[in-house]
Amino acid sequence: MNDSAPNVAWVPAVEEGNGPMYLAIAEAIARDIRAGVLRPGQRLPPQRALASVLGIDFTTVSRAYSAAGKDGLVEGRVGQGTYVKESGPANPVVSGSAKNQTVDMSMNVPPRLEDAGLVRRMWQGFDALRSEHGVEFLMRYQMPGGSHEDQQAAQFWLQRHLGLQPHDDIIICNGVQGATWTILSLILEPGDTICCEELTYPGLLALARHLKLNVVPIPMDADGLDPDALDEVCQTVKPRAIYTTPTLHNPTTITMPVARRARIAEVARKHDLQIIEDDAYGVLASTAPDPLCTIAPERTWYVSSLSKCLAPSLRVCFMVPPSGTSNDNVRRAMRANGSVVSPISARLATNWITSGLADKILSAIRFETERRQGVLRQSLPDIRVPKDAFHVWLPLPDGCSATEFVLKLRGSGLGLVPGAAFALDKAPNAVRVALGSTDTAVNLGTALRKLVDALENADQHDWMVV
């Protein structure tokens, strides 16, 4: 702190090393508003004055005030400065007077976008559809797999990860679940065996039960799915396919390194396995190795969703079948199982991509994810989360049952997912925490403090370990 700096009425209590400084200041504003240190209508110190006191750059304070403004805590008044809002943010997290409300941190969605101008442009996409296509667009069916224009947009969107794919090879699907259902119905028969990580997407397990498939979990290590364990299983069980999420794995957040991906492709070739690559988080990750489909294109079904990187309600997914696959067969399977994407959703996604808006949304989600990770570090500084991940895999203390822990927290207004939801065999004693599900970063901080309190008191509870 700068001793020669001007006097200011309020100085945030912040510590270096717990995430970006601007987020620490924004959280200090929120904390002091809750504590009554900062009162409604009170003026915050001028940005340059506070920067001088803290010995930091002026732009850091500016970003902090902006972040607090996006959380509905403060407001800028032209020519007057920045003031604490007279009323707090809408939709506050659970309080003592609203214990019947639940903050659901079980649904893994992108963090809420706070840029009103960007959100307005997202909605304007519907107006563009109406003006460009008129009522005729609403009064006709679309062929399975997407239109020529939608495929070209998908090609443009995916080329940063896959290189330039022929747009005719890209199939537009109704979400990852619809795409996976289509793939499984094409390559497997009832009674066949598919392998997956020992912790996997619950939607795959549901589809396997529905299609009467056998699922064999493969052990994981710090680099993801263990290829040697896969090789050993293939020699005894004879599976026909492997399902994997190699980037920002759900729920562990592990990203497979290049060498691990190459080894898995090698094992798949050795045993003639089809690979289903669920790359739902691949576009979200700003730094990730090339997808498996670029290593083994002849056997990999690549699936990339817009749900995590743009908007879950689009329900738009891009599928790239293995080279040489008949797309006519894929389209027939989509028609049979109802996995055809809504033409409105597909064309809205196309407009966002071709106009450059999709890149702006992706950047905003990454920015908000960084903010939320900063809030996480203040509550759980020892938890390490990969860049761009908005979910956390949180191991629990020995003797603390994950299932009971989740039930206990839900009773006090906080929803999490226990490890059992992702496991076929013995469930790990851990929970998944979704950072994007609260309406603001400030409310995330409140929810995480409730989680930390429960963890700190875990040894005082008589847990039933099952």
* Type of residue numbered 96: G
Residues in the chain, total: 466
The pLDDT score that the predictor gives to residue 96 is: 35
Please state, in angstroms and rounded to a whole number, the distance separating the CA atoms of residues 430 and 422: 11
pLDDT at 89: 47
Q: Residue 306's pLDDT is what?
A: 96
- Domains delineated in the chain: 21-84 (1.10.10.10), 103-115+378-460 (3.90.1150.10), 141-355 (3.40.640.10)
Determine how β-strand 300-305 pairs with β-strand 274-278: parallel
DSSP character string of 63-102: HHHHHHHHTTSEEEETTTEEEE-SS--SSPPP-TT-TT--
Q: Which two tokens stand for residue 63?
A: 């970003």
> Tell me, what's the pLDDT at 377?
92
* pTM metric for this prediction: 0.79
Express each pLDDT in 415-427 by its tens digit.
999 999 999 888 8
Q: What is the predicted pLDDT for the residue at 66?
A: 86
pLDDT at 29: 87
Query: Which residues in the chain come in under a pLDDT of 50?
Result: 88-100, 462-466
pLDDT at 128: 85
List the Cα angle 212/214/217 in 5-degree steps: 140
List Cβ neighbours of 239 (8 Å cut-off, separation of 6 or more): 192, 193, 194, 195, 216, 233, 271, 273
Give the C-alpha separation, 242 to 265, whole Å.
10
Q: What is the pLDDT, as a whole number, of residue 407?
A: 87
Please report the pLDDT score of residue 462 as a whole number: 46
pLDDT in tens, 251-269: 999 999 999 999 999 999 9
State the pLDDT at residue 87: 61
